[in-house]
Structure 1
């Protein structure tokens, strides 16, 4: 994807099979982060609080990435592993047919907020 100005454009440019999952992630994150500003950085849509990106997502060729501040991921590493998902220091990747459970997305977003001022 080229230079993407906003979340709507990003989702529209993503592979068709990914769009429902990306829209759902956006809605979940918007609900969990009501004080966050929607933004795009590094051609990836995200949510910023007090200048710090606390959550973002991206579509790749075969998977979706969901990213948070590193402490949020480490605080929930056990729960992420229990779901069978792959985690890195700052994110979780998954195929569109096996998304991150809604409750886990919300927990990760809430945990990320707690580390805005770190």
Structure 2
């Protein structure tokens, strides 16, 4: 992706390379369904979901999809993420491997529940 500054998630998606667009659309739909009250925003020039703060970010790259659901989420799912290149709060899902959609949904649901619970306190 180029260094353009995106104002909306739709604008970001219009600039995704074709080979990652379908995967990103699948993730976008799953995240919207999982975190139904969350708002789509651009943060750090990436698509993100926001509900009482940022829930997660995701981004298209040449060889992978980056998924960033904060360290607490990644720690909870660290065993399942161990097959992927990952950092403290990030994971890379290679574009030449099947998309782990069930895992992405469960991570999103976990993070969303964290924010829902925190908003009730």
Calculate the TM-score normalised by the size of structure 1: 0.88
Q: Which has the larger radius of gyration?
A: 2
Could you say what the CA RMSD is over the residues aligned between the two structures, in angstroms?
Answer: 1.6
The runs of at least 4 aligned residues of structure 1 exceeding 6 Å deviation read none
CA distance in 1, matches of 2:85, 2:94: 10
1:59-70 aligned within 5 A: 59-70=60-71
1:74-113 aligned within 5 A: 74-81=75-82, 84-113=83-112
Cα displacement (A) at 1:48? 0.2
The gaps in structure 1 that reach 5 residues or longer are: none
Does the 8 A contact of 2:8 with 2:41 survive in 1?
yes
Calculate the TM-score normalised by the size of structure 2: 0.86
